[in-house]
Amino acid sequence: MKVESAQSKSSLVMYESRVYRCLSGGVGIPKVHWYGVGEPHNILVTDLQSPTIQNLFLSMDEFGSELLLALAKEILDRIEYVHSKDFIYTDVKPENFAFGKEFGLKTGLKLHITDFGLAKRYTYPKTKQHIAIRHKTGFKSLSPFASHRARQGFEQSRRDDLEAIGNMMMYIQYRELPMNFQWMDINPGVDKLASPDLWLSQLPSAFMPYLKYTQSLRFEDKPNYNLAWELLRSAIIEANQFKFVIDWTIHLLSKRTTKRTSSSLKQMKLNDPED
């Protein structure tokens, strides 16, 4: 549930309810149960979402490759759907991807994408023409996973959402961000000196092919989401090739398998004709 003052000049809650309406029906899009004014507040009520990727990140020492791959695929699928409805998300971060109330071994892994207060159209509704690129003069706080161009103050498009996904997956993989991500705001005084090649050279090599692809896209380009997935999948596999981590889901399943195997062995021993 989101609540804001009904006296707000520009209602983010009202705007977000409209975005949810445009996206309704998609996999992983929370259902809006109610939006309205309950004096003195504007109120938006959606499906209960818990836990988030950030909750899981803080409760686990390390993620295994299978879980990382599953998360990456779900995140890409959610963002691709948002793009298909002519919106960009612009707020990729672990707190905004949640597992939903039905989360469990039986239902499998299905991420929900939440918090559309910063989402915006990248096309004009009437003409479907792509918006024009521009350099912003007024800078607002950004997600620490924002793309290189967004940090330089440029208008965002679909390519920036994909780059932000790569940055977030690096954070989940290595449990920290590289030093060139250590400021929260747009910093044109610093970032304008960093070319894309210099920026990439400071990032983990496993993720460079994926991030090079996202940075090669022009402002209006539609990403190749299948290629993006293959590059991100390869990055995660390479980053984990020398690690041995038992995925929490696999670990739980293996416990059940071990119990069944132990029970079967006991039964075999009892039925052994040579005893």
- Pairing mode, if any, of strands 97-98 and 112-113? antiparallel
- Dist CA 275 CA 273 (whole Å): 6
Pick the closest to residue 220 from 79, 22, 88 (CA basis): 88
Q: With the C-alpha atoms ordered 6, 144, 66, 83, is the resulting torsion angle positive or negative?
A: positive
- Catalytic pick among 61, 77, 86, 91: 91
Q: Please indicate whether residue 272 is annotated as part of the active site.
A: no
- Pairing mode, if any, of strands 32-38 and 97-98? unpaired
Burial of 194-213, coded b for 16+ CB within 10 Å and e otherwise, reads: beeeebbeebeebbeebbeb
Give the side-chain half-sphere CA count within 13 A for 24.
Answer: 11
Q: What is the CA radius of gyration of the chain?
A: 22
Give the active site residues. 91
